[in-house]
Amino acid sequence: MNLQTEEEKKNIQEHFDDLLKNCTRCNTEEDKALILKAFNLANEAHKGVRRKSGEPYIIHPISVAKIVTQEIGLGAKSIACALLHDVVEDTDYTVEDMERIFGPKIASIIDGLTKISGVFDANSSLQAENFRKMLLTIAEDIRVILIKLADRLHNMRTLDSLQPNKQMKIAGETIYLYAPLAHRLGLYAIKTELEDLSLKYRFPQVFGEIQTRVADSEKMRMQLIDHFSLPIIKKLDENNIDYEITGRPKSIYSVWKKIQSKNVTFEDIYDLLAIRIIFKPLPHIPEKTQCWHIYSLVTDIYKPKPDRIRDWVSTPKANGYEALHCTVMGPNGQWVEVQIRTQRMDDIAERGFAAHWKYKDVDTANQENELDKWIKRIREMLDNPQSDALEFLDEFKLNLFSSEIVVFTPKGDTKTLPKGATSLDLAYEIHSEIGNKAIGAKVNHKLVPLSHILNSGDQVEIITATTQKPSWESLNYVITAKAKLAIKATLKAETKNRIEKGRNLVEKKLAELGITPSSRVFKKILPAYDCLSKDELYSKIGSNLISLDDLKKILKKNTKSKWIKYWGLQLSINPLRKKEIEEDEEEEEDDLLANQKIDVKAPYLLRETQDEDAPSYIVAKCCNPIPGDEVIGFITPEENVIIHKATCVEAIRLMSQHGDRIVSAKWTTHKVLSFLARIEVRGMDRIGILSELVKVISDELRVNIRKLHIDSHDGIFDSTIDLYVHNITDLNNLGMNVMKIKGIDSVKRVEKFDD
């Protein structure tokens, strides 16, 4: 055991003293005594244990406790739980010990933290189940989630000591689940830091470049903001408003994301400046009224952009966020966003759910009710025994970052839904039985189909019929997790009933023929009825799609299973359908796959050769990487390696859900193969520009064009060109040369396309 040195003991005590000194909600001696008791137990339990960085392990729980109190604003019980959060997981102490020493509430929170502490590295379904467990604790005590987010934040802040593959995996999980969860709970500051840290470890070079450029441009940005703010400051002072104005800095992640999604340069990001006006409201005057008063003062100076007003003071976001946003034309011809908030609104925007407790005397029931509604929806998703773990994970992620709309029922009640929700989504939001029986809707008194997309402010009446049932097609009409899970649960229940009915009929018929069911029997029956599994056979029989009248004749035939094998996969003679068979053939397949295993620890080289013995790979259609792109490999259950761009959204999801199947990959430099790429070119539609474009690509750069499509309208042309390149350098050179053509406005690479 590596005992602590005197210097380390002194350092630990200094960290703990700083925790106590800056505890925001530790008001009594009883609170401090509880925290000291928790620290002493944790310090003793973790004595001699060190983190990967080499520092004493106890520094980690102290740091988590600091985040819990100083950055989230939780109280003494939460601080004690943060100090103890790894004790049951990593030492001989039990949950029962915690209850005996600290009482049932702290024991319950520590139990929740222990249940969700397993790292996401066993397999995809276990990972999803771990996340389900984490969300189940929301129903018990939301402090479990808040402490878990603090734990993840400190782990991200200290990720340097881990190996690069571990860093990539943890960063992928963070951007996929933890940052959106922090956003949904209103923890803006934590969400922003998690995003930036995730980017730092996923793309360190890009992170460093943007960080440097942000720092370099800070002085100019502040000069522009100061110039813009001076008339506003004068106006606010004249009206005796107690306020502060700050320039809202863009996070490194938000800059990177906009560069990626909008295909703009770094300089273009700063076309939209932003300031925040935070004021102390006067008593006895509604905060909303005072926000609109400041808005009128600002728009007396600068002309507003009407379609860019965001009123979240009248209708707060589901995570409790309140503010009034507007965009105005600044003195230098630049659009500037102005955010107007009270001090209370700003605290809630930065620190989320926990900040509500600071303002318990203020009427914040509306915000808390919205959060309660969201938690209720999560509990409904979790309570559904039919839901598949991975399905649930994807549906949950889908609904975390959704923008919201507010619609009205015929009685005037409001319902909050994600942007893009349909009439059928609303039906299921009201009640699952309403959704199951829905046949149409009236939106603003006009009849519309269930697929109709709703807008904020719509008044919606759902029309039902007792004979209506959901179909698989209904899934195309909904986007909310609640609706999808309800539809799937109903359909699965019906399928289960059909399968049970079919099984009984088959067993009865075989009994009449004096035959005992066995795998050998079904190997004859399944091909005869064009079925790939027993469940498919039972379902068709239960639905009266198959008759068993000729079963005796089928069993008398010496039928052989019509399957072929190809590289470890089993394919039926119908090339569109494939399925594993049972027992002996499954064992044979396992043997084949065992001979094709790839060492997941070794970098996977993407060789641009025509050697048939070289390991094969598949280029992902979602991002179409080419040599030179930063890539990762994903090993499928069939042992194929699918290559994704490291920035691909699907790749990030796979890193989070299937960390054990991710391999590092890199291109070699042999120029033998060509890769299909697509670019979009936009420019002025002048005479001869198309021939110049083709000449530059084909003649000067010697790039083969596979397909060219062009549209011209109002003097502007848009073209899509599919061409073969060797690597990213070819594509970049091509882009630079095409941009030199007179009249060309933009050249952009298209990542997602089908060839």
By three-state DSSP, how is residue 170 classified? helix
Q: Which residues pair with 277 in a beta bridge?
A: 245, 340
Handedness of CA 574, 580, 583, 584 (dihedral sign): positive
Backbone angles phi, psi at 110, to 5 degrees: -65, -40
d(CA 302, CA 234): 14
Radius of gyration (C-alpha) of the chain in whole angstroms: 31
By three-state DSSP, how is residue 357 classified? helix
Q: Three-state SS across 489-545?
A: HHHHHHHHHHHHHHHHHHHHHHHHCCCCCCHHHHHHHHHHCCCCCHHHHHHHHHCCC
Q: Which of 90, 388, 494, 718 is catalytic?
A: 90
d(CA 448, CA 724): 47
Q: Three-state SS across 636-694?
A: CCCCCEEEEECCCHHHHHHHHHCHHHEEEEEECCCCCCCEEEEEEEEEECCCCHHHHHH
Strands 438-443 and 414-418 turn out to be: unpaired
**Does residue 90 have an active-site annotation?**
yes
Handedness of CA 731, 736, 738, 739 (dihedral sign): positive
Distances (CA, A) of 493 to 361, 432, 479: 48, 14, 21
Q: Which of 14, 18, 44, 89 is catalytic?
A: 89
Query: Counting beta carbons within 10 angstroms of the beta carbon of residue 251, is it exposed (0 to 12), middle (13 to 18) or buried (19 or more)?
Result: middle
Q: Which residues pair with 278 in a beta bridge?
A: 244, 341
Structure tokens at 482: 């609640």
**Does residue 89 have an active-site annotation?**
yes
By three-state DSSP, how is residue 325 classified? strand
Pair 138, 147: CB distance under 8 Å: no
Pair 450, 477: CB distance under 8 Å: yes
660: CB partners within 8 A, 6+ apart: 121, 122, 123, 600
Catalytic residues: 89-90
